[in-house]
Amino acid sequence: PFVIRVAVTFITVLIPLFLLMLFVFGRTRRNFYRKRKLQRKLHSKYLGVVKEILISKEKYSYKDIETKLNCNVKKLTNKEKRLLTNNILNIHAKEEYLNENNYKRVIDYFELREFWEKRLTYGSLASRQRALRKLDDLDVEIPGSIITSLTYNRNQYLRKRARSSYMYFSKNSPFKFLDEDFDKTFNNWDKIEIHRVFSRRIHEGLPRLTQWIKNSGNSDFRCFLVDELKYFRQTDSCPFLLEMMDTEDMELRKHCIEALGEMKYRPAEEKLIKDYNLQPALVQHAIVRAVQNLNTGKALSFLEDAYNNVHDRESEQIILYAIYNYGNPGKELFNSMKEISGGFSKLIFEHVS
Residue 216 has pLDDT above 80, yes or no: yes
Residue 32 has pLDDT above 80, yes or no: no
The least confident of 7-21, 94-108, 129-143, 211-225 is: 7-21
Calpha distance 89→159 (Å, rounded): 23
Q: Which residue has the higher pLDDT, 273 or 143?
A: 273
Residue 289 has pLDDT above 80, yes or no: yes
Would you place residue 1 in the very low, low, confident or very high pLDDT band (cuts 50, 70, 90)?
Answer: low
pLDDT tens-place string over residues 40-81:
766 767 788 889 999 999 999 999 999 999 888 898 889 889
Shortest CA distance to 276 belongs to which of 294, 298, 261, 291?
291
What pLDDT does 130 receive? 92
Read out DSSP for 224-291? HHHHHHHHTT-GGGHHHHHHGGG-S-HHHHHHHHHHHHHTT-GGGHHHHHHHGGGS-HHHHHHHHHHH
pLDDT tens-place string over residues 144-160:
888 988 999 999 999 99
| Average pLDDT rounded to a whole number, residues 97-112 | 93
What percentage of the chain has pLDDT greater than the value 90? 64
Residue 33 has pLDDT above 60, yes or no: no
Residue 305 has pLDDT above 80, yes or no: yes
What pLDDT does 31 receive? 64
| Average pLDDT rounded to a whole number, residues 122-135 | 91
What pLDDT does 39 receive? 65
